[in-house]
């Protein structure tokens, strides 16, 4: 894609985002602080709507390539946007999520595999979508982390193995740049909303899935290792404390850093990005080795993460009931 075309798409997404701000302001689509939030001011919600729009723009310009993925993305983005506005019944929302994931499986051609692979894939996809949603709690973290992941996927697609059209990655990256311009700051102009966190998770899962199917290398799931470790152990600690894991909370490590230690949101988001960047570099360097080495990276990251949590939060806070 030529630089001039890239610039035109960037301007297009910027204009569309600004138009959405006007619509959101007109119809009062705002994010009010709640028990899970780390912000204190009312802000425009749903700025992440630009993510699925970027994919729809790509599809329209490319004869609607990846049709099952496109339909699944549209459905899961629409229901998430409606949930941002109306707060839908969980059964309705989950049924659409499941339908979208099954459409994703059709795009990946997974139904030719054994049932247990389908089950593993289902658990992974649903868990990742929810993890992304849980992690979207401070300025910059969703946009910054996702931009890093997309940039890494673009590098792999260009320099290691081509697994998808580069234009799709470029357009998604441009939408993330636009969103970060308004979100990766001390006083955010907008938040991603469920439509943003869920849709970008769906997009990134689709790309990583294509990459894994192309290479038969499961270690690429570690491109989301920081989010995965933080989410998994936060749920684990909450279960140990006998808390309801489905209730809103502020128990993630990034929330402790921003809420209790009062680190700036963008600094915490940058820390998560830096940690994932180091993992991504190691992962790419170890691609020619057996799965053993990426697993060593996984255990190393887990050990460092747990050491930091116990050192900074303390055993009592992590293992015993406390007020968030």
Q: For 150-159, 199-208, 256-265, 286-295, which range has the lowest pLDDT when averaged over its residues?
A: 286-295
Q: What pLDDT sits at residue 322?
A: 53
Give the CA count within 13 Å in the CB-facing half-sphere of 28. 2
Q: What average pLDDT does range 57-61 have in this prediction?
A: 96
Structure token digits, residue 307: 């050491």
Per residue in 127-143, pLDDT (tens digit) is 999 999 999 989 999 99
CB 140 within 8 A of CB 183: yes
What pLDDT does residue 40 have? 55
Q: How far apart are CA 200 and CA 194, in angstroms?
A: 10
* Among candidate residues 234, 210, 212, the one with its CA nearest the CA of residue 222: 212
Q: Which of 24-28, 50-54, 235-239, 250-254 is most confident?
A: 50-54
Distance between CA atoms of residues 272 and 118, nearest Å: 30
Q: What span, in angstroms and rounded, lies between the C-alpha atoms of 145 and 226?
A: 9
- Residue 324 pLDDT > 60, yes or no? no
Cβ neighbours of 178 (radius 10 Å): 25
The helix-helix angle for 193-215 and 90-108 (nearest 10°) equals: 30
Q: What is the pLDDT of residue 293?
A: 86
DSSP reduced 3-state for 112: helix
pLDDT in tens, 217-272: 999 999 999 999 999 999 999 999 989 887 878 899 999 999 999 999 999 999 99
Rounded CA-CA distance 109/67 in Å is: 12
Q: 167-210 pLDDT, tens per residue?
A: 999 999 999 999 999 999 999 999 999 999 999 999 999 999 99
Task: For residue 323, give the DSSP letter.
Answer: -
Residues 68-126: pLDDT tens digits? Answer: 999 999 999 999 999 989 878 889 999 999 999 999 999 999 999 898 999 999 999 99
- Which residue stretches of the chain are H helix? 3-26, 50-61, 67-86, 90-108, 115-135, 141-155, 166-183, 193-215, 225-240, 253-255, 265-285, 292-313, 315-319
DSSP conformational letter for 259:
I
State yes or no: pLDDT of 288 exceeds 90.
no
Neighbours of 51 (CB within 10 A): 32
| 158 pLDDT above the threshold of 90 | yes
pLDDT at 34: 55
Cα 64–181–153 angle (5° rounding)? 50
b/e for 97-121, b at 16 or more Cβ within 10 A? beebbbbbbebbebeeeeeeeeeeb
- The domain segmentation of the chain, as residue ranges, is 3-319
User: For residue 212, what are its two tokens?
Assistant: 């894994």
pLDDT band at 62 (very low <50, low <70, confident <90, very high): very high
Residue 102 Rama label (left phi>0; alpha psi -120 to 50; beta): alpha
| Whole-prediction pTM | 0.94
Q: Give the separation between CA 46 and CA 136, rounded to whole angstroms.
A: 12
Strand, helix or coil for residue 190: strand
Which sign does the torsion angle of CA 162, 67, 133, 303 carry? Answer: negative
Distance CA 278, CA 231 (A): 19
């Amino acid at each position: 894609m030529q630089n001039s075309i890239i610039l035109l798409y960037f301007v297009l997404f910027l204009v569309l985002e600004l138009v959405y701000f006007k619509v959101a302001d007109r119809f009062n689509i705002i994010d009010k602080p709640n028990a899970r939030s780390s912000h204190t001011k009312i802000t425009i919600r749903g700025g992440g709507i630009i993510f699925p729009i970027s994919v729809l723009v790509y599809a329209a310009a490319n004869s609607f390539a990846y049709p099952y993925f496109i339909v699944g993305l549209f459905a899961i983005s629409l229901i998430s946007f409606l949930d941002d506005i109306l707060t839908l019944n969980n059964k309705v929302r989950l049924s659409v999520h499941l339908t979208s994931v099954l459409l994703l499986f059709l795009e990946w051609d997974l139904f030719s595999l054994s049932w247990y692979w389908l089950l593993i894939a289902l658990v992974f996809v649903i868990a990742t979508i929810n993890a992304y949603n849980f992690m979207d709690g401070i300025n910059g973290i969703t946009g910054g982390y996702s931009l890093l992941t997309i940039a890494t996927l673009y590098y792999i697609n260009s320099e290691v193995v081509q697994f998808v059209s580069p234009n799709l990655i470029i357009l998604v990256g441009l939408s993330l740049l636009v969103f970060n311009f308004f979100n990766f700051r001390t006083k955010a102009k907008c938040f991603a909303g469920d439509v943003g966190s869920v849709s970008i998770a769906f997009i990134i899962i689709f790309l990583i899935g294509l990459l894994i199917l192309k290479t038969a290398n499961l270690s690429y799931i570690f491109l989301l290792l920081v989010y995965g470790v933080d989410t998994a152990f936060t749920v684990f600690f909450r279960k140990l404390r006998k808390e309801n894991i489905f209730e809103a909370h502020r128990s993630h490590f990034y929330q402790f850093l921003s809420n209790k230690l009062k680190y700036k949101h963008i600094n915490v988001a940058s820390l998560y990005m830096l940690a994932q960047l180091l993992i991504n570099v190691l992962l790419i360097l170890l691609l020619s080795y057996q799965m053993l080495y990426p697993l060593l990276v996984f255990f190393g990251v887990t050990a460092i993460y747990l050491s930091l949590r116990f050192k900074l939060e303390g055993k009592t806070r992590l293992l015993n009931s406390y007020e968030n």
